[in-house]
């Protein structure tokens, strides 16, 4: 587990929107390559690139900072963070289940809400298009290639774009859901009319 970080002077985020890029889909053998986040109160954007060996001091410090941000945010926001991003981090960094549960309990995830409530899922690009927003510039496979080629700045840019797009669509007063005639909002959940 990562070392602790002294962040006593930082104010917790009201809503921390985040995205994770990885070297694959298996949190036990693949690793996190990038974590990006946006603070809804300060509008601060932060990127953590994991380009050093897993147990290096640099990596452990960055992991501790990410964990602090996830722990202290009042609300978390991600697209498919419930089933991918957060469990991947927990497996990869050996985070206890109770900590993972705390993160998931405060997560706003329109993808997971749709999967559970109306039994449908969609790609982030489909959600963005249904709401008149710009589309993503790449894919998870492209992110793996960027990490393998050591293109860390490009990887961080791609990851941050996903964060900002997720924030933009999730915080719309009403979100049009693709493949359905339903709408959704953070405050009201699913809206049928």
Q: Give the 3-state secondary structure of the chain.
A: CCCCCCCCCCCCCCEEEEEEEECCCCCCCCCEEEEEEEECCCCCEEEEECCCCCCCHHHHHHHHHHHHHHHHCCEEECCCHHHHHHHHHHHHHCCCHHHHHHHHHCEECHHHHHHHHCCCCCCHHHHHHHCCCCCCCCCHHHHHHHHHCCCHHHHHHHHHHHHHHHHHHHCCCCEECCCCCCEEECCCEEECC
| Structural domains counted in the chain | 1
Domain of 76 in residue numbering reads as: 15-191
Evaluate whether residue 60 is within a structural domain.
Answer: yes
pLDDT value at residue 187? 86
pLDDT value at residue 31? 93
What residues of the chain score a pLDDT lower than 50? 1-9, 11
pLDDT value at residue 193? 60
| CATH number of the domain within which 52 lies | 3.30.420.10
Question: Taking the model in full, what pTM does it have?
Answer: 0.90
Evaluate whether residue 10 is within a structural domain.
Answer: no
> What is the percent of the chain with per-residue pLDDT over 90, rounded to a whole number?
76
């Amino acid at each position: 587990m990562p070392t602790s970080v002294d962040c006593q002077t930082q104010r917790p985020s009201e809503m921390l929107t985040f995205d994770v890029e990885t070297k694959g889909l298996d949190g036990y053998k693949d690793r996190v390559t990038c974590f990006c986040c946006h603070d809804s109160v300060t509008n601060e954007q932060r990127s953590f690139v994991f380009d050093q060996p897993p147990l290096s001091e640099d990596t452990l410090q960055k992991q501790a900072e990410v964990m602090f941000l996830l722990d202290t945010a009042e609300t978390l926001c991600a697209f498919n963070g419930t089933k991918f991003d957060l469990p991947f981090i927990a497996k990869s960094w050996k985070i206890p289940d109770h900590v993972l549960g705390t993160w998931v309990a405060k997560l706003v995830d329109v993808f997971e809400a749709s999967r559970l409530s109306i039994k449908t899922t969609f790609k982030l690009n489909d959600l963005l298009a249904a709401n008149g927003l710009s589309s993503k510039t790449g894919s998870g496979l492209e992110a793996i290639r960027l990490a393998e080629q050591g293109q860390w700045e490009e990887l961080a840019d791609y990851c941050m774009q996903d964060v900002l797009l997720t924030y933009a669509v999730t915080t719309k007063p009403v979100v049009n859901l693709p493949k359905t005639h339903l709408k959704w909002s953070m405050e009201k959940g699913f809206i049928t009319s």
